[in-house]
């Protein structure tokens, strides 16, 4: 047995050393694969522009510089995104040491709102046939027009930014400003004719052929491109970026927040269960991580957490139903408010919300579950054998929800609503004894109360 344990330990040591050596040699081997050979690094950016996309683009620029790439191509398809992330991406593109071509692709793709700023910030703005660009007028996060004063303030700021980008890249300032001032949108042909973009390309090979011989201004100086027949290398999201993108979906973040709040509340009402608390903490941490990439309204978060509290209370104080209805209403309101912004919001953000189908489905499932649980509890208590209820009299229990004078006690492995016999306050954890049973309500007294002991 000792020999076997020794072999297991040695195997684990060798496994650890192998992983360590692989981790250390990985970057060296990656750089050994002719990193300096001419190539174009190609990445795809689609969906809402947020901090994850910003980090992805920043990592791609660093990788392109490190590998000596001739060109970085960003294939773009986005409805818009966060203004803060858009500004940071624009800054990255304007300061890139490697020439960047933003390619609105494939056919049918769009560079809407935030995508307009990103496309304009590339050294080369390129569109595939059948794509469109524009519609960058400031709107609220709910997709509605902003009030006049606020709209003027945010619109002027966005217009100034896109004019500055156009001046830097030598593109049509007036036409790009119209995408902000009047929500103008252009087809690929219209954008090319008005000098909003530089080229129309069918695919990557066509793009590389058309960029050959052109010059690009980078942070390191002027670069003349030699791109015809250039090797193409893909740059993909890493596992962490894929995971962050997944949980940053509004619907996923809503589910994480709901499950997390419910788990924490269940653990608080039932200390020692461990599993609900662990799951709740993990889900809440993931939810807050996701909400950092979304325009969250914290009032919605409060309503969702309140719904979790009311759900647990409804189960604990079975038979009333009002708390369950309040939980469902609170959950629906929280879901509707979660990504609703009031006031100064991002001018580049498309409409973001929790799916109404998800809200309705979640509310329905919780409602049916509460009806079942409360109904079963009511039947087992109210319609149980009279002798079972009578047996409760004289039983010892423990307070799980402070009696002031009404609260919750645990008697015989069941949770009951109870009131203290003399209307005194009995703290959580104190032992009590059941004096009488009235329907679903127990009357109890503090078990170590001398006066109560005199009147058993």
CATH number, domain containing residue 427? 2.40.50.140
The last residue of a domain, from among 382, 411, 428? 382
* 3-class DSSP assignment, residue 347: coil
Asked if 278 and 396 sit in the same domain, the reply is no
Tokens 């986005």, residue located: 78
Assess if residue 66 is contained within a domain.
Answer: yes
CA distance 217 to 361: 53
Which of 4-13, 209-218, 345-354: highest mean pLDDT?
Answer: 209-218
Residues contacting 383, CB < 8 A, separation 6+: none
Asked if 41 and 190 sit in the same domain, the reply is yes
With bands split at pLDDT 50, 70 and 90, how would you rate the model's confidence at 288?
confident
Asked if 126 and 48 sit in the same domain, the reply is yes
The last residue of a domain, from among 213, 237, 261? 237
With bands split at pLDDT 50, 70 and 90, how would you rate the model's confidence at 308?
confident
pLDDT of residue 381: 53
Per the structure, the complete domain to which residue 449 belongs is given by 390-453
Assess if residue 49 is contained within a domain.
Answer: yes
Assess if residue 101 is contained within a domain.
Answer: yes
CB 129 within 8 A of CB 153: no
The last residue of a domain, from among 382, 404, 437? 382
Asked if 328 and 395 sit in the same domain, the reply is no
Task: Classify burial at 124, counting beta carbons within 10 Å of its beta carbon; exposed 0-12, middle 13-18, buried 19 or more.
Answer: buried
pLDDT of residue 24: 53
pLDDT of residue 442: 84
Nearest to 198 by CA among 124, 133, 120: 124
Asked if 364 and 398 sit in the same domain, the reply is no
Residue 386 pLDDT > 70 = no
pLDDT of residue 2: 60
Asked if 350 and 408 sit in the same domain, the reply is no
With bands split at pLDDT 50, 70 and 90, how would you rate the model's confidence at 30?
very low
pLDDT (tens digit, 9 = 90+) per residue, 68-92?
A: 899 999 999 998 888 888 889 999 9
Asked if 420 and 360 sit in the same domain, the reply is no
pLDDT (tens digit, 9 = 90+) per residue, 139-182?
A: 444 444 444 434 466 778 888 889 999 999 999 988 898 888 78
316 or 47, which is more confident: 47
Asked if 378 and 293 sit in the same domain, the reply is yes
Assess if residue 252 is contained within a domain.
Answer: yes
pLDDT of residue 377: 58
Asked if 407 and 378 sit in the same domain, the reply is no
Kind and range of the H or E element at 437? strand 431-438
Assess if residue 232 is contained within a domain.
Answer: yes
Asked if 52 and 152 sit in the same domain, the reply is yes
Asked if 107 and 224 sit in the same domain, the reply is yes
Nearest to 426 by CA among 394, 404, 411, 448: 404
pLDDT of residue 456: 42
With bands split at pLDDT 50, 70 and 90, how would you rate the model's confidence at 299?
confident
- Percentage of the chain lying above the pLDDT 70 cut: 76
Q: What is the CATH number of the domain that holds 90?
A: 3.90.226.10
pLDDT of residue 452: 43
Range 212-225 average pLDDT: 88
Assess if residue 444 is contained within a domain.
Answer: yes
Residue 286 pLDDT > 70 = yes
pLDDT of residue 16: 61
322 token code pair? 């009002």
Is the Cα torsion angle 429, 431, 435, 436 positive or negative in sign?
Answer: positive
Which of 115-129, 153-167, 271-285, 392-406: highest mean pLDDT?
Answer: 115-129
Assess if residue 242 is contained within a domain.
Answer: no
Residue 192: HSE in the Cβ half-sphere, 13 Å Cα cutoff: 13
With bands split at pLDDT 50, 70 and 90, how would you rate the model's confidence at 9?
low
pLDDT of residue 8: 61
pLDDT of residue 116: 92
DSSP at 384: S
Phi, psi (deg, nearest 5) at residue 323:
-65, -35
pLDDT of residue 376: 60
* E-strand stretches of 139-261: 185-187, 199-200, 215-218, 221-224, 231-234
Looking at the 3D structure of the chain, how many domains does it have?
4
Tally of residues, the chain: 456
Average pLDDT over the chain, rounded to an integer:
79
Using only C-alpha atoms, the chain has a radius of gyration, in whole angstroms, of 31
CA distance 161 to 164: 5
Asked if 292 and 416 sit in the same domain, the reply is no
């Amino acid at each position: 047995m000792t020999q076997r344990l020794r072999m297991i330990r040695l195997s684990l040591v060798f496994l650890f050393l192998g992983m360590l050596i692989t981790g250390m040699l990985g970057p060296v081997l990656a750089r050994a694969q002719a990193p300096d050979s001419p190539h174009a690094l190609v990445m795809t950016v689609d969906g809402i522009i947020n901090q994850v996309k910003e980090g992805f683009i920043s990592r791609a620029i660093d990788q392109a510089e490190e590998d000596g790439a001739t060109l970085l191509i960003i294939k773009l398809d986005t409805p818009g995104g966060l203004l803060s992330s858009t500004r940071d991406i624009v800054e990255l593109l304007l300061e890139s040491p490697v020439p960047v071509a933003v390619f609105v692709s494939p056919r049918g793709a769009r560079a809407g709102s935030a995508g307009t700023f990103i496309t304009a910030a590339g050294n080369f703005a390129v569109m595939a046939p059948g794509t469109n660009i524009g519609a960058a007028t400031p709107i609220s996060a709910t997709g509605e027009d902003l009030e006049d004063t606020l709209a003027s303030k945010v619109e002027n700021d966005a217009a100034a930014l896109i004019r500055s980008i156009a001046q830097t890249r030598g593109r049509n300032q007036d036409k790009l400003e119209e995408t902000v001032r009047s929500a103008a949108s252009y087809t690929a042909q219209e954008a090319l004719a008005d000098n909003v973009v530089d080229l129309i390309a069918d695919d990557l090979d066509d793009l590389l052929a058309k960029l050959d011989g052109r010059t690009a201004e980078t942070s390191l100086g002027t670069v003349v491109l030699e791109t015809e027949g250039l090797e193409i290398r893909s740059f993909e999201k890493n596992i962490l970026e894929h995971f962050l993108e997944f949980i940053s979906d509004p619907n996923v973040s809503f589910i994480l927040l709901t499950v997390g709040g419910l788990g924490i509340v269940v653990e608080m009402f039932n200390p020692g269960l461990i599993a609900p608390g662990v799951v709740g903490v993990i889900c809440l941490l993931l939810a807050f991580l996701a909400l950092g990439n979304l325009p969250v309204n914290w009032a919605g978060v409060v309503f969702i957490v309140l719904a979790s509290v009311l759900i647990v209370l409804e189960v604990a104080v079975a038979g009333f139903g009002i708390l369950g209805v309040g939980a469902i209403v609170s959950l629906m309101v929280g879901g509707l408010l979660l990504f609703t912004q009031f006031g100064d919001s991002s001018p580049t953000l498309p409409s973001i919300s929790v799916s109404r189908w998800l809200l309705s489905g979640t509310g329905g499932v919780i409602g049916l579950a509460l009806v079942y649980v409360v109904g079963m509890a009511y039947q087992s208590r109210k319609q149980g054998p009279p002798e079972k209820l009578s047996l409760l009299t004289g039983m010892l229990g423990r307070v799980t929800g402070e009696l002031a004078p009404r609260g919750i006690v645990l008697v015989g492995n069941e949770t009951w609503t109870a009131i203290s016999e003399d209307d005194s306050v009995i703290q959580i954890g104190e032992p009590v004894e059941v004096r009488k049973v009235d329907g679903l309500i127990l009357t109890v007294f503090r078990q170590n109360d001398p006066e109560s002991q005199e009147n058993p």
